[in-house]
Chains A and B, each alone.
Chain A
Amino acid sequence: MAMRASEMEKLNVEQLKALKEQSEMEVNVLQDSLSKIKTAVTRLDIASNALLDLSLRPQGKKMLVPLTASLYVSGTLEDADRVLVDVGTGYFIEKTTAEGKDYCDRKISLLKSNYDELMEVASKRKITGDEAGAILQAKLRQSTATT
């Protein structure tokens, strides 16, 4: 769908309008995906930090476990070395803390590369939309000038 400005010049007003709207819609969808990726990265970051935190605690350490946001029960840290990782679609995998951290880091880097890719696509679409808008404006001005 990438279109050069020279090709856009040949389009009529209706087609330009449609192109502009289409580009804007796509940019919106992409922006939405970008923000979703960002929240996912933050969540993985939190998980990764929690794992790091957990690995620093000695076994048998007393702690408070949150049952709800305001209700805690006391507990002891039994085993800080094995964690369950939710990998999606209902599957959980038992991993060591190091493996779990590795999992988070891998996911984060995957998301970051996706983010950069999407960013590029979004900026290209935005340029297309802006160009279409500029040419549309020029054409409209031209048509009012001639009549």
Chain B
Amino acid sequence: MGSSTALKELQRDLEVQANVLSKLQKEISKNHQVRKQYTIQLGENELVLKELDLLKEDANVYKLIGPVLVKQDLAEANANVRKRIEYISAELKRLDGSLQDLEDQQNSKKSAVMKIQQKIQTLQAGKAKS
């Protein structure tokens, strides 16, 4: 009965690894979502910056804070948008890094799961023969 306990152990192992794998996949899709949002924001901010750059020195710029429009200095607005772009770019880079990391982990887990499945198959084939 040695092979049957080994089989059970392998199946348990497979379940554990598959769980880890699905968790990783969930994290990857979350990463994708967050990244998408940041990319949209980055595009919007870049468009705003382009508009601000086109303005004359004495143009009136307002910022919507809650329900009120507050008049803002052009230079200040410009600096704000630039800072935001910087922050979002840095955040995107960080997300890229962690995505790479997660994908590497996913690939190694995938091959681990495949190996276990193969082991189970050979065990079952051996049992069927005997």
Contacts and interface: CB of A to CB of B under 8 A. Distances in A.
Interface of A: 84, 87-95, 103
A93 B55 CA distance: 9
B60 interface: yes
Contacts, number: 46
B123 interface: no
Interface residues on B, range: 10 to 19
B45 A89 contact: yes
Contact of B47 (A88, A90, A93): A88
Interface of B: 41, 44-45, 47-48, 51-52, 55, 59-65, 69, 77, 81, 84
Contacts of A84: 62, 69
Given A89-B45, A91-B62, 16 more contacts: A84-B62, A87-B51, A88-B44, A88-B45, A88-B47, A89-B44, A89-B84, A90-B63, A90-B64, A91-B48, A91-B77, A92-B61, A92-B64, A93-B59, A94-B62, A95-B59
A103 B48 CA distance: 12
A112 to B, nearest CB: 15
Contacts of B81: 89, 91
